[in-house]
């Protein structure tokens, strides 16, 4: 009989890193920098029958880290950890759109050229101001669970914060950056993650941050959930409906002739006053009062009075993007309402696809895949998950029977660490996380008055990924650089 053999033990996952050297001109200054690109294995202490059995690999996290060369004292050099949202999005958007030394070539508005696509040097990169680490949470990019582990384990609010927090701790320790000024920058759900991390890093790891940059923020989900009984979104989305109609020239002539900001001031006053009062009164609103609200909503949205009556004064975002340009046979974007799309027909209630996402999906996917393998010398045959559907099954069990809300976590973090500064970037044409909803959240944060100046906001005439608009990219570089420098500790 053949001799019995034991099955070979599977090799333990190992870090896989590629290190390359580069140069770039940023802000008129030539900079040498090192890129560390690859996967870092996350481990947890294994326990059996109450006894520790060493560390068990759970997942590997893909990251791209940019560090400026020839820095004598790392304690004076900021370190910024970056991630996007989804949930289920890789970090590609902030990486190749705003912060990194390369950016996707688009036109000045943000429209892509015909394929194939290419990267160009990003003269507006933030690398001249801070080192940058782009993190792909588990299930995005090349980040995966170790074979045999439960794939869904990390696909939830708290587990996501813990795993990204563990990566940040591990990277900071291995690269001896505990005494560097540290920042987070997140976009969309990445702002939810960043606010959650502000408390987790302080309370779990004792890591106090200098600043957090929130791009297209959502911390309080009741502001964006169009559900029966929740009137907040109808009020808070209205100014962005107006901005969108203004951009597409669907407003009355007197409003079209005014600057956008002046129009928004008028609409915001109506939204917080007459409109909010009307919605709160519900069935007690008289017929004459309802007619007055309908008239003003039509004036401020570009929609017909008849349509607004049929919505019972409550216009949801997915109806708006289909209805605004229905007579032209066009839809408008959710991520960026400046963009137009074409559906099969004009009779539907919602658009078939988001034209603003369609404009960026191809260019960012192609250039990231080429860049990582060709220039950064990291090779993997796994598909790079640009934006997966994790948001459809994401677990929010910590908020069962309530709306997700991390604004309180951020308030407490700032109260514990009064040196923590927060920058909030808003796009006027963002229908995913509207600026007025963000203002509402921060106006209800509950910070002590002595800490109000810790929060600063900026506004851009673009959408959710406002940096695809070249002028907004220029302005964002100035705003973010100024914020980081102001949040840096003064040196004696």
* Same domain as 216, residue 233: no
* Same domain as 430, residue 287: no
Domain end point (choices 316, 338, 353):
353
Three-state secondary structure along 255-303? HHCCCHHHHHHHHHHHHHHHHHHHHHHHHHCCHHHHHHHHHHHHHHHCC
Residue 307: which of 291, 293, 294 has the closest Cα? Answer: 294
Q: Which two tokens stand for residue 274?
A: 């007459």
238: in domain:
yes
* Same domain as 189, residue 41: yes
* Same domain as 23, residue 161: yes
7: in domain:
no
- Quote the domain boundaries for residue 385: 16-222+360-487
* Same domain as 306, residue 384: no
CATH of the domain at 46: 3.40.50.1820
Quote the strand ranges of 49-181, DSSP E: 51-68, 79-83, 102-104, 119-121, 131-136, 144-145
192-196, 311-315, 390-394: least confident range: 390-394
Domain end point (choices 298, 319, 353):
353
37: in domain:
yes
For the chain, give the percent of residues with pLDDT over 70: 96
Q: How many domains does the chain have?
A: 2
35: in domain:
yes
Q: Does residue 103 have a pLDDT over 50?
A: yes
Domain end point (choices 327, 353, 379):
353
Three-state secondary structure along 158-176? HHHHHHHHHHHHHHHHHCC
* Same domain as 332, residue 254: yes
* Same domain as 217, residue 73: yes
Cis peptide before 69 (omega within 30 of 0): no
Model pLDDT, residue 147: 87
Per-residue pLDDT of 216-270, as tens digits, reads 999 999 999 999 999 999 999 999 999 999 999 999 999 999 999 999 999 999 9
Q: Which two tokens stand for residue 117?
A: 């696509």
Q: Does residue 1 have a pLDDT over 50?
A: no
105: in domain:
yes
* Same domain as 438, residue 336: no
> What's the CA gap between 461 and 463, in Å, rounded?
7
Model pLDDT, residue 6: 41
pLDDT category of residue 44 using cuts at 50, 70 and 90: confident
* Same domain as 274, residue 156: no
Model pLDDT, residue 10: 55
Model pLDDT, residue 56: 86
* Same domain as 189, residue 52: yes
Q: In terms of pTM, does the model score above 0.85?
A: yes
């Amino acid at each position: 009989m053949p001799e019995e053999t034991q099955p070979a033990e599977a090799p333990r996952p190992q870090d896989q890193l590629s290190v390359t050297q580069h140069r770039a001109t940023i802000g008129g200054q030539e900079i040498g920098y090192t890129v560390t690109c690859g996967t870092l294995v996350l481990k947890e202490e294994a326990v059996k029958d109450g006894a520790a059995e060493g560390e068990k690999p759970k997942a590997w996290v893909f990251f791209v880290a940019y560090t400026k060369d020839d820095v004598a004292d790392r304690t004076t050099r900021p370190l910024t950890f970056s991630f996007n949202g989804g949930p289920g999005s890789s970090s590609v958007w902030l990486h190749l759109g705003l912060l990194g030394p390369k950016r996707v070539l688009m036109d000045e508005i943000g429209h892509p050229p015909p394929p194939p696509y290419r990267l160009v040097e990003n003269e507006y990169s933030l690398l001249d101001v801070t080192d940058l680490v782009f993190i792909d949470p588990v299930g995005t990019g090349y980040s995966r669970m170790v074979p045999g582990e439960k794939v869904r384990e990390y696909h939830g609010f708290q587990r996501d914060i813990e795993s990204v927090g563990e990566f940040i701790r591990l990277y900071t320790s291995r690269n001896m950056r505990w005494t560097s000024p540290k920042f987070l920058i997140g976009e969309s759900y990445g702002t939810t993650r960043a606010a959650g991390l502000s408390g987790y890093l302080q309370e779990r790891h004792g890591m106090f941050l200098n600043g957090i940059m929130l791009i297209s923020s959502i911390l309080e989900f009741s502001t964006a959930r169009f559900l029966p009984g929740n009137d907040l979104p109808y009020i808070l989305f209205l100014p962005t409906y107006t901005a969108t109609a203004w951009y597409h020239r669907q407003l009355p002539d007197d409003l079209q002739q005014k600057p956008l900001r002046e129009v928004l001031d008028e609409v915001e006053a109506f939204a917080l006053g007459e409109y909010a009062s009307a919605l709160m009164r519900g069935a007690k609103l008289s017929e004459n009062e309802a007619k007055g609200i309908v008239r003003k909503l039509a004036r401020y949205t570009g929609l017909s009075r008849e349509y607004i009556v049929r919505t019972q004064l409550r216009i949801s975002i997915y109806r708006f993007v289909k209805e605004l340009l229905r007579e032209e046979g066009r839809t408008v974007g959710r991520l960026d309402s400046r963009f137009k799309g074409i559906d099969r027909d004009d009779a539907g209630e919602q658009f078939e696809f988001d034209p603003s996402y369609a404009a960026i999906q191809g260019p960012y996917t192609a250039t990231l895949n080429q860049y990582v393998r060709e220039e950064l010398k990291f090779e993997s045959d796994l598909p790079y998950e640009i934006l997966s559907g994790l948001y459809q099954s994401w677990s929010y069990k910590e908020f069962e029977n309530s709306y997700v809300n991390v604004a309180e976590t951020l308030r407490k973090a700032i109260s514990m660490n009064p040196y923590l500064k927060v920058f909030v970037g808003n796009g006027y044409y963002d229908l995913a996380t509207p600026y007025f909803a963000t203002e509402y959240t921060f106006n209800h944060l509950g910070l002590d008055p002595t800490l109000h100046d810790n929060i600063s906001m900026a506004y851009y005439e673009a959408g959710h990924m406002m940096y695809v608009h070249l002028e907004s990219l220029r302005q964002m570089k100035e705003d973010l650089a100024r914020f980081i420098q102001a949040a840096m500790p003064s040196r004696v």
